Structure 1
Amino acid sequence: MYQLTNVTKTYTRGKGTVHALDGIDLTINDGDRLVIQGPTGGGKSTLLQMLGGLDRPSSGAVVLDGTDLAKLPETRLTRFRSETIGFVFQSFNLIPTLTAQENVETALVPLGVKARERRERAAEALISVGLGERLGHLPSEMSGGQQQRVAIARALVKKPKVLLADEPTGNLDEGMRDEIMEVLEQMWREHRLTFVMVTHDSAMAKRAPRLATIRKGKITVTEKAIA
């Protein structure tokens, strides 16, 4: 479970101060599926970075299962993040010279998983997202939707507890967008993940049972956004 308490994040811009997050209180229970929306610059991605331990708040606590991410030393935070949290981004962030299977394996290297097990787990992850026939293909040999499936497999191969997605369908057309959302939702159900997604897409937001709206660093959470 996440428990965010009075989380603030400020940046200095010129002579002024920007409050990207302004006293955020938020609880995300295990297995929740939460979508975060709001205007550009409102704090959506900043909040996701706090949840993922990719950035630290200026003040406040970001606690996941009793561990305050804001207070962990960098080496422990990196390890905790590698073991516990999977990330999917708008840009697929695949290594162009590696095959789909090799790209997925990269998530297991920091965890000390041996080569044979890495290969087996990467193949299983790719099969689970419908890419069993693409293990040896380079990113340039795959469509955008297929590349995002590789990115999802890479996020899930380490068996995280949390999946964080930042505009995961932003680079895809409408047909591919729906396919990728179906994959993400299927993975959420099958792996019993805590799933948090940032999106500008209202159609995607309507599919989630919880909707958080951030404006000027303030958050409002609506329960039961869908039936």
Structure 2
Amino acid sequence: MYELKGVTRRYTRGKQTVHALDGIDLTIPDGDRLVIQGPTGGGKSTLLQMLGGLDRPSSGEILLDGTDLATLPEARLTRVRSENIGFVFQSFNLIPTLTAQENVETALVPLGVRTKERREKAAEALAAVGLGERLGHLPAEMSGGQQQRVAIARALVKEPKVLLADEPTGNLDESTRDEIMEVLVRMWKELGLTFVMVTHDSALAKRAPRVATLRTGRVTVEENPGV
């Protein structure tokens, strides 16, 4: 479970102080599927980075299962990210010189998983997202949708507790977008993940059980009871 208490994030832009987050209180239960929406510059990606321990708040607490990510020493925070949090980004972030299988394996290297087990787990993860026949392909040999599937497999191969996705369909056409969302939602259900996704796509937000809207650094949460 995430518990955010009074989370603020301020930074300086020229002579101005920007309040990206301005006193956020938010609870995200285990197994939740939450979509974060809001205008450009409203703090969506900043909030996701806070949840992932990629950035620290100016003030406030970000508790993941009772551990405050805001004050955790860097080495322990890195370990938490490596073990418990999977990330999927809009730009895929695959290493172009590595095959699909090798890209997925990179998530297991920091955990000390041995080579043979890494290969087996990576192959299983790629099969789970429908790429069991593409293990040896380089990113340039795959479509955008296939590359995002590799990124999803990489995020999930370490069996994280949390999946964070920042505009994961932003570079895809509508048909491929729906395919990727089907994969993400299926993985969320099968693995019992806590799944938090930033998107500007209102059609995707309407399919989520809960939607958090960020405006001028403040958050409101609405339920979608029909989902």
TM-score w.r.t. structure 2 length?
0.99
**Could you say which residue in structure 1 is the equivalent of 2:73?**
73
Q: Partners in 2 of 1:226 and 1:39 — Cα distance?
A: 25
SS at match of 1:70: coil
**Could you say which residue in structure 2 is the equivalent of 1:168?**
168
Q: What do the CA deviations read for 1:79-109 (whole angstroms, capped 9, x no partner)?
A: 1110000000000000000000000000000
**Could you say which residue in structure 2 is the equivalent of 1:44?**
44
Kept in 2, the 8 Å contact 1:207–1:225? The answer is no
Q: Partners in 2 of 1:30 and 1:223 — Cα distance?
A: 16
**Could you say which residue in structure 2 is the equivalent of 1:115?**
115
Q: What do the CA deviations read for 1:92-136 (whole angstroms, capped 9, x no partner)?
A: 000000000000000000000000000000000000000000000
> Which letter does structure 1 place at the counterpart of 2:111?
L
**Could you say which residue in structure 2 is the equivalent of 1:198?**
198
TM-score w.r.t. structure 1 length?
0.99
SS at match of 1:19: strand
Residue correspondence of structure 1 range 97-112 to structure 2 within 5 A: 97-112=97-112
Kept in 2, the 8 Å contact 1:88–1:166? The answer is yes
Kept in 2, the 8 Å contact 1:208–1:226? The answer is no
Kept in 2, the 8 Å contact 1:208–1:225? The answer is no
> Which letter does structure 1 place at the counterpart of 2:144?
G
1:225 is displaced (CA, Å) by 5.7
1:224 is displaced (CA, Å) by 2.2
Residue correspondence of structure 1 range 22-33 to structure 2 within 5 A: 22-33=22-33
Alignment coverage as a number of residue pairs: 227
Q: Partners in 2 of 1:100 and 1:8 — Cα distance?
A: 38
**Could you say which residue in structure 2 is the equivalent of 1:10?**
10
Kept in 1, the 8 Å contact 2:206–2:224? The answer is no
> Which letter does structure 1 place at the counterpart of 2:170?
G
Q: Partners in 1 of 2:226 and 2:216 — Cα distance?
A: 25
1:139 is displaced (CA, Å) by 0.3
Amino-acid identity (%): 82
Q: Partners in 2 of 1:88 and 1:225 — Cα distance?
A: 26
Q: Label 1:225 to 1:8 Cα distance change in 2 as closer, same or farther (>3 A).
A: farther
1:15 is displaced (CA, Å) by 1.4
Q: What do the CA deviations read for 1:145-164 (whole angstroms, capped 9, x no partner)?
A: 00000000000000000000
State whether structure 2 residue 97 is matched by structure 1 residue 61: no
Q: Partners in 2 of 1:96 and 1:46 — Cα distance?
A: 27
Residue correspondence of structure 1 range 107-146 to structure 2 within 5 A: 107-146=107-146
Q: Partners in 1 of 2:220 and 2:147 — Cα distance?
A: 33
SS at match of 1:134: coil
Gaps of 5+ in 2: none
Q: Partners in 1 of 2:161 and 2:207 — Cα distance?
A: 21
